[in-house]
Amino acid sequence: MKIDIDSILSKKIKFYKKLNKEERNELWDLLSNYEKYSINLKYQKKIGFGIDKFTLNELGIRKIDLSSYKNLKVWDKEQYTYQKKHGQTHLDETYKLYLFGDWCRFIENKKLIYGEIFSVHSYIFDKVTQKLSKFENGLFPHTTKFKFIKNKKKTKHPLSGKSEYMYSMKSKTKAYGREKDLEQFQKLRREFEHNVLAPKIKKYILKNMKKSTYRIVQTKETFDNFHQFLFSDNKALKHCRFETFLDDFNALKRDDRELKKIEKKFFNYSKEYLMKKINSDTQTKGVR
């Protein structure tokens, strides 16, 4: 018997089989978060792999046989090769570590865990750039309004394949008379983050954090939880298997407070770099 969400709902709701696809989607939206969680938990028990009932849940991902991978390093390198083949330009010339963020689910202590497998360097980069965004707003207070505009001509939808009217988004930013200064700073920040900050963080992590994992948990834990599972390098990935994911991961797990120190280090470095650049550019313009 095929096990899926529909088969579980058919047992719980007598009239479910009579509903069409659109009606089933509407019914799912009407369920409470806890009801959805309970159904997903039951489903996970049926389809999960290994002792933790583990699955990868990327949208649109091809069906993956997790038992075919010796360890997570083999799987990660395959993801890198696939992305490089399809033209991703942000990747290293040779494989070092990919882990760009993959959604997963598994069961821990009878609870369904929603998670993300991520690299330490990408996690630190995200945290630092979020702080830089707030720093930017402190230097140049501004507000941005977004507006969705319906296109005049129909185009083919990339997922459904149907011809339909698509929407484009336009934005307008007000910086109280400092729009040009803000625009210049934003350009500087983007170039710095991409060309300097990202590779610098990655190099530091790969050099100084060997064979380590970190687990980031929401401050307020609920039944509808989300955890991030971070890996420092290939040695950590090689140690971990899908079949025994949690045991392998926990064997290398370190205190996530270590990450706060690294985040602070690179945020302070970023502020200093950007402010020096701004002051240098200002002085150069003054000389001219």
For 116-173, the pLDDT digits (tens) are 999 999 999 999 999 999 999 999 999 988 888 888 888 877 666 778 888 887 888 8
Name 138's Cβ contacts closer than 8 Å, sequence gap at least 6: none
Q: Which stretches does DSSP call E strand in the chain?
A: 55-56, 102-108, 111-119, 143-156, 163-174, 213-217, 226-231
Question: 42 and 100 in contact (C-beta within 8 Å)?
Answer: no
- What does the pLDDT read at residue 1? 42
Tell me how far CA of residue 110 lies from CA of 52, 122, 233, 244, in angstroms: 10, 30, 30, 16
Question: 221 and 109 in contact (C-beta within 8 Å)?
Answer: no
Range picked from 98-112, 136-150, 240-254 for highest mean pLDDT: 240-254
For 187-235, the pLDDT digits (tens) are 999 999 999 999 999 999 999 999 999 999 976 767 778 899 999 999 9
- What does the pLDDT read at residue 286? 53
Which residue did the predictor score with more confidence, 288 or 143? 143
Token pair belonging to 239: 């140690």
pTM: predicted TM-score of the whole model, two decimal places: 0.86
Average pLDDT over residues 256-277: 96
Question: 246 and 52 in contact (C-beta within 8 Å)?
Answer: yes
Name 178's Cβ contacts closer than 8 Å, sequence gap at least 6: 140, 142
From the CA atom positions of the chain, what is the Rg in Å?
A: 23
